[in-house]
């Protein structure tokens, strides 16, 4: 599947996030202070809080509901919490953002199923 | 090529340093560890439960042999280092093998002190220090009947209890007249002795051992007064000495211990030391908490990060001796210049003593009821002036202000299924399992792993007791509480620096104060943002450092929708307003409407992208944001007052509206609630608000520092004023001093308990120019705060916050 254009880098605030609505559920796209960009399913592995609403620091986002820290690079919950949310590839070319949204293989009627411990 | 790190000693402090090192610099060193015992790293604090049979050796292993293997550490057990070639940088072990190092860590711990009386080397005379000693005692208990333990300190009593449990007749011999005299005063020592006697232990107090008598094996002990006691086993537990033998031999500067600087470095810059073997600023340490702090600092320097310092520790002891709760900290004996407050109930077996000097706590001893130990320790460490609640100090924290959340104070008697933390539904068994399985030692660890005590904190005392009952006498003792893990500075230090150095942005704070992280964390960023907004109103505000509620100007709910609460001044509304709210609810299909505790209407379940439209409609109907989401003024609750009520003495509703119009939009360290009651019947419940006003016939009573919530706290009476203008001025001044002094996320209640009501009175009541200046600063700041955030956003400000970036079909 080709990369999908989803917007411009400048449309996401530094240390912020925007949501991309997809058939696989909302995907949160994050931008950190060094303009690295990451994409995670917008669901905390703990209690499905919207990660896009959290505070972003370097390589983590803190879920607004119960303060779990999630690694932006792979969706892993930071220790001692355990769990993982799905992460997606996202690239920036000439300030334009492209999302790598793989074809769905599983039943997607419940995209909310992040892997909880 | 990696550098080589060699550690001499394989105990708790040393291995902790290695663990800390692996966390911060996993690939820096090839590590070799020499241990003289045949075991990997076990928890020495838990030797006593092994002796009593409550635990087995495998239960107390902290790092097994596989752990060393998994981390690539070359572990050499049963090996003693006998020499160090400092010039050639090699250690030499007892088999003559040379092992080179770039850095050397000495963690040789301590040796038990053996009283050099005649007969101390007879068979059957041992110390109590390691697994081998425990095994020796277990064997002796099978074969013999009588044991004597010399030393009535913590370790001695634990050994005595263990031998008793194993069926021996045990007599404890103590030189002084008080047991555990380093932790207890005479009264609490006597209580302890009485309960141990009830459990079957015998005591011989003020007894000086003159000789241990026997042919080959010990047969009896003779004392200085000529009396004798027959025995088959003598356990000496009279203290420990730093093990400096090796360091001394190779010429590293030692006094009582190996002398180190604040980076845990010895006089040989390639050689570091941690644990009981060292001496730092003249002190040696034997409790785990300081040793772990040292381990962390040492690891930081071994990793060449170079930003940690060990500045010594204040220690407290909170221990479990055979099911008896004890706590002691600081100077608990006192002298001519100190005062003491004592509570004693001999039948209930409760004794509490606090030593004071100029209304500050110097030390405390608690026996039987130790749940407030952590609180006294905090007050002591923070140097809090306790003058304002001196008369209720010994009744504990729950009695300050008012009773609150029900709290039991005996962890030992709780069943494993009893709920300890009501916020997160954590039962006692969960906590015990986590402590054992994950090797936890500190309250912070337990919070992180189990979430117990991590929300409202009212079960903290209980969690600490459970921790103490599992891992023994551990209590964490940081010298000061830093803002978060990103910095070593405290909230107060950061706030002072922001003002003193005129720092105006978060990146500048982080740079000038040497933050350890690039962007801070979700804990310090909102705090810094608030401190900057407070110090430089109108000059700084970083949207991305606000918590989501303050970024979205609505309250996030558990399903990711938001709730919206329009402001209704003083809780007064009319048909047109209510109609407008009803229309909004219909138009945006808002599922739930509810009246809040603060007398406003809550619209729940609003989708984020609908927020600006909802606000637009509300704004056109005349509403502004209710700030129900803010760390700032929430609502001013009122009663109807003398306009309608036959008891009313003043127009409380109008007063409330005036206060709300003055204070709305202000940011503060935490939420801030006001109420105005029209008479002392207090229908607006003003005495559990941050600022409460109660009308009386001759004017207005002002009350501060109350809250409902986790622990109900009734306000303190501040003063009485006559006019409405005074009410406004005092309120503005009070809000400003709270805004300028409290730590972020500290409500007025704990803030007042920390700084004292007298402090607040000094600036608000006694100092008129000071009060006026505070009020002026508040009103100046308000000029920047009262633009309605809802109207702005309805008109398109910050559009990106509320709309998806894009939609993929």
Nearest by CB to B448, which of A33, A54, A80? A80
The nearest alpha carbon in chain B to A100 belongs to B808
Q: How far is B530 from chain A (nearest CA, A)?
A: 15
B558 neighbourhood in chain A, CB within 8 Å: 47, 49, 65
Report d(CA B91, CA B97) in Å as an integer.
8
Kindly state the tokens that stand for B146: 């009588």
CATH architecture, domain A4-96: 3-layer Sandwich (2.102)
Closest CA to B675 of B666, B687, B661, B664: B687
Structure confidence at residue B474 (pLDDT): 52
Tell me if B792 is assigned to some domain. no
The whole-number average pLDDT for the span B422-431 is 85
Q: How far is A72 from chain B (nearest CA, A)?
A: 14
B547 neighbourhood in chain A, CB within 8 Å: 55, 64
Residues 42-71 of A with CB under 8 A from B: 47, 49-50, 53-58, 60, 62, 64-65, 67, 69
Inter-chain CB proximity B522 and A33 less than 8 Å: no
CB of A111 less than 8 A from some CB of B = no
Same domain for B183 and B69, yes or no, is: no
Closest CA to B325 of B203, B466, B446, B163: B466
Inter-chain CB proximity A23 and B519 less than 8 Å: no
Lowest-confidence segment of B358-367, B472-481, B497-506, B696-705 by average pLDDT: B472-481
Locate tokens 């503005």: which residue? Answer: B732
A44 neighbourhood in chain B, CB within 8 Å: none
Tell me if B148 is assigned to some domain. yes
The whole-number average pLDDT for the span B29-57 is 90
| Other C-beta atoms lying within 10 Å of the C-beta of residue B235 | 29
**Beta strands A25-31 and A16-22, pairing class:** antiparallel
Report d(CA A57, CA A64) in Å as an integer.
13
Q: How far is A66 from chain B (nearest CA, A)?
A: 10
**pLDDT band, residue B316 (cuts 50/70/90):** low
Tell me if B807 is assigned to some domain. no
Per-residue model confidence as pLDDT tens digits over B323-375:
677 778 888 778 889 999 999 888 888 899 999 999 999 999 988 888 788 78
**pLDDT band, residue A108 (cuts 50/70/90):** very low
Tell me if B120 is assigned to some domain. no
Same domain for B539 and B581, yes or no, is: no
**pLDDT band, residue B401 (cuts 50/70/90):** very low
Same domain for B43 and B100, yes or no, is: yes
- For B262, the domain range is 3-110+242-302
Q: Percent of chain B, pLDDT > 70?
A: 96
Tell me if B342 is assigned to some domain. yes
Closest CA to B290 of B441, B411, B66, B145: B441
Q: How far is B124 from chain A (nearest CA, A)?
A: 46
How many domains does the structure of chain B reveal? 7
3-state helix, strand, coil in chain B (%, to 5): 35, 25, 40
Same domain for B679 and B611, yes or no, is: no
Tell me if B479 is assigned to some domain. no
CATH number at residue B31: 3.50.50.60
Same domain for B568 and B451, yes or no, is: no
Chains A, B: CB pairs < 8 Å: 89
Report d(CA A57, CA A17) in Å as an integer.
11
Q: B701: number of CA atoms within 13 Å, CB side?
A: 17
Inter-chain CB proximity A53 and B804 less than 8 Å: no
Residue B162 to residues B170, B236, B327, B329, B467, Cα–Cα distance (Å): 10, 14, 21, 26, 20
Is the predicted ipTM greater than 0.90, yes or no? Answer: no
Nearest by CB to B804, which of A19, A47, A62? A19
Whether the ω angle into residue A80 lies within 30 degrees of 0, i.e. cis, is yes
The domain boundary, picked from B480, B515, B546, lies at: B546
**pLDDT band, residue B287 (cuts 50/70/90):** confident
Provide the mean pLDDT of chain B: 91
The nearest alpha carbon in chain A to B449 belongs to A80
Structure confidence at residue B402 (pLDDT): 41
**Beta strands B360-367 and B350-357, pairing class:** antiparallel
pLDDT beyond 50 at B132: yes
Element (H, E) at A28: strand A25-31
Kindly state the tokens that stand for B635: 């609502």
Same domain for B643 and B756, yes or no, is: yes
| Every domain of chain A and the residues it spans | 4-96
Tell me whether residue B590 is exposed, middle or buried, using C-beta atoms within 10 angstroms of its C-beta: 0 to 12, 13 to 18, 19 or more. buried
Backbone angles phi, psi at B314, to 5 degrees: -95, 130
The nearest alpha carbon in chain A to B799 belongs to A11
The domain boundary, picked from B596, B620, B644, lies at: B620
A67 neighbourhood in chain B, CB within 8 Å: 522
Residue B755 to residues B379, B386, B742, B746, B774, Cα–Cα distance (Å): 11, 9, 9, 12, 17
CATH number at residue B647: 3.30.413.10
Element (H, E) at B61: strand B61-63
Structure confidence at residue B346 (pLDDT): 83
Same domain for B503 and B611, yes or no, is: no
Kindly state the tokens that stand for B692: 């409460």
Closest CA to B254 of B233, B238, B268, B237: B268
Nearest by CB to A53, which of B517, B519, B548? B548
Per-residue model confidence as pLDDT tens digits over A28-53:
999 999 999 999 999 999 999 999 99
Same domain for B542 and B597, yes or no, is: no
- CB under 8 A, 24+ apart: contacts of B415-420: B420/B452, B420/B459, B420/B462, B420/B463, B420/B466
Same domain for B31 and B81, yes or no, is: yes
Same domain for B737 and B696, yes or no, is: yes
Q: Percent of chain B, pLDDT > 90?
A: 70
**Which of the residues A6, A18, A52, A57 would you substitute to probe the B interface, choosing the one with the greatest number of B C-beta atoms within 10 Å?**
A57
The whole-number average pLDDT for the span B201-212 is 95
A12 neighbourhood in chain B, CB within 8 Å: 800, 805
Same domain for B230 and B249, yes or no, is: no
Tell me if B803 is assigned to some domain. no
Report d(CA B538, CA B666) in Å as an integer.
12
Contact B257, B242 (CB under 8 A): yes
Same domain for B536 and B431, yes or no, is: no
């Amino acid at each position: 599947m080709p990369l999908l254009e989803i917007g411009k880098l400048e449309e996401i605030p530094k240390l912020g996030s925007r949501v991309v609505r997809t058939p696989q559920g909302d995907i949160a796209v994050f931008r950190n202070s060094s303009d690295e960009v990451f994409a995670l399913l917008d669901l905390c592995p703990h209690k499905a809080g919207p990660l896009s609403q959290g505070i972003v620091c370097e390589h983590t986002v803190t879920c607004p509901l119960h303060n779990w820290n999630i690694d932006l690079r792979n969706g892993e919950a930071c220790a001692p919490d355990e769990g993982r949310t799905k992460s997606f590839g996202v690239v920036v070319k000439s300030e334009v953002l492209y999302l790598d949204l793989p074809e769905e293989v599983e039943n997607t009627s419940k995209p909310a199923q992040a892997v909880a411990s | 090529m990696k550098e080589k790190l060699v550690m001499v000693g394989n105990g708790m402090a040393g291995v902790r340093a290695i663990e800390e090192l692996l966390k911060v610099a996993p690939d820096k060193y090839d590590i070799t560890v020499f241990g003289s015992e045949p075991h990997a790293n076990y928890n020495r604090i838990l030797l006593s439960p092994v002796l009593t049979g409550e635990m087995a050796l495998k239960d107390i292993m902290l790092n097994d042999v596989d752990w060393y293997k998994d981390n690539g550490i070359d572990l050499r057990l049963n090996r003693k280092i006998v020499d160090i070639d400092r010039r050639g940088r090699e250690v030499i072990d007892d088999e003559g093998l040379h092992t080179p190092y770039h850095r050397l860590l000495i963690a040789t711990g301590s040796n038990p002190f053996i009283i050099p009386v005649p007969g101390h080397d007879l068979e059957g005379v041992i110390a109590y220090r390691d697994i081998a000693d425990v095994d020796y005692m277990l064997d002796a208990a099978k074969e013999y009947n009588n044991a004597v333990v010399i030393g009535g300190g913590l370790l001695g009593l634990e050994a005595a209890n263990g031998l008793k449990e194993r069926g021996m007749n045990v007599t404890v011999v103590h030189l002084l007249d008080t047991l555990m005299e380093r932790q207890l005063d005479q009264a609490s020592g006597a209580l302890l002795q009485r309960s141990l006697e009830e459990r079957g232990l015998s005591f011989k107090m003020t007894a000086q051992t003159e000789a241990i008598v026997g042919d080959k094996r010990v047969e009896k002990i003779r004392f200085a007064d000529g009396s004798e006691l027959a025995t088959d086993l003598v356990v000496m537990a009279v203290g420990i000495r730093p093990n400096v033998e090796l360091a001394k031999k190779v010429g590293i500067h030692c006094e009582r211990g190996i002398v180190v600087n604040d980076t845990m470095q010895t006089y040989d810059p390639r050689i570091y030391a941690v644990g009981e073997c060292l001496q730092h600023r003249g002190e040696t340490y034997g409790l785990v908490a300081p040793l772990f702090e040292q381990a962390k600092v040492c690891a930081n320097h071994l990793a060449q990060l170079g930003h940690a310092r060990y500045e010594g520790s204040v220690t407290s002891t909170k221990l479990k001796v055979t099911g008896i709760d004890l706590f002691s900290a600081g100077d608990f004996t006192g002298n001519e210049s100190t005062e003491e407050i004592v509570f004693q109930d001999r039948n209930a077996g409760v004794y509490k003593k606090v030593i004071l000097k100029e209304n500050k706590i110097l030390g405390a001893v608690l026996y039987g009821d130790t749940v407030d130990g952590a609180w006294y320790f905090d007050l002591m460490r923070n140097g809090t002036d306790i003058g304002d609640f001196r008369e209720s100090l010994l009744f504990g924290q729950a009695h300050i202000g008012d009773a609150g959340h029900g709290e039991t104070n005996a962890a030992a008697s709780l069943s494993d299924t009893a709920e300890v933390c009501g916020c997160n539904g954590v039962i006692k068994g969960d906590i015990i399992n986590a402590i054992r399985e994950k090797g936890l030692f500190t309250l912070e660890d337990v919070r992180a792993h189990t979430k117990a005590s991590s929300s409202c904190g009212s079960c903290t005392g209980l969690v600490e007791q459970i921790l103490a009952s599992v891992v023994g006498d551990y209590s964490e003792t940081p010298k000061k509480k830093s803002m978060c893990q990103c910095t070593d500075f405290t909230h107060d230090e950061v706030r002072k620096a922001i003002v003193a150095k005129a720092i105006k942005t978060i990146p500048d704070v982080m740079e000038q104060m040497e933050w350890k992280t690039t962007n801070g964390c979700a804990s310090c960023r909102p705090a810094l943002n608030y401190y900057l907004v407070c110090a430089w109103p109108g000059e700084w505000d970083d949207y991305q450092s606000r918590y989501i509620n303050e970024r979205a100007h609505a309250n996030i709910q558990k399903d990711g929708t938001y709730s919206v609460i329009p402001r209704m001044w003083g809780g007064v509304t009319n048909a047109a307003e209510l109609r407008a709210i009803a229309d909004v609810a219909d138009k945006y299909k808002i599922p739930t409407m509810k009246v809040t505790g603060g007398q406003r209407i809550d619209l729940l379940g609003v989708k984020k992208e609908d927020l600006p439209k909802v606000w637009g409609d509300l704004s056109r109907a005349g509403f502004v944001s209710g700030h129900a989401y803010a760390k700032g003024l929430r609502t001013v609750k009122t009663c109807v007052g003398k306009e309608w009520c036959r008891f009313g003495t003043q127009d409380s509703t109008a007063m409330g509206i005036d206060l709300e119009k003055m204070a709305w939009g202000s940011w503060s360290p935490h939420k801030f609630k006001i109420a105005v009651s029209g008479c002392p019947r207090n229908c607006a419940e003003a005495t559990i608000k941050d600022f409460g006003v109660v009308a009386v016939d001759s004017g207005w009573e002002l009350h501060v520092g109350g809250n409902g919530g986790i622990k109900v706290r009734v306000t303190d009476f501040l003063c009485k004023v006559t006019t409405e203008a005074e009410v406004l001025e005092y309120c503005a001044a009070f809000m400003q001093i709270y805004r300028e002094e409290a730590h972020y996320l500290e409500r007025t209640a704990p803030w007042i308990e920390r700084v004292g009501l007298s402090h607040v009175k000094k600036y608000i009541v006694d100092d008129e120019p000071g009060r006026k200046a505070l009020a002026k600063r508040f009103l100046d700041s308000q000029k920047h705060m009262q633009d309605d955030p809802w109207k702005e956003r309805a008109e398109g400000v910050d559009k990106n916050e509320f709309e998806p970036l894009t939609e993929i079909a």
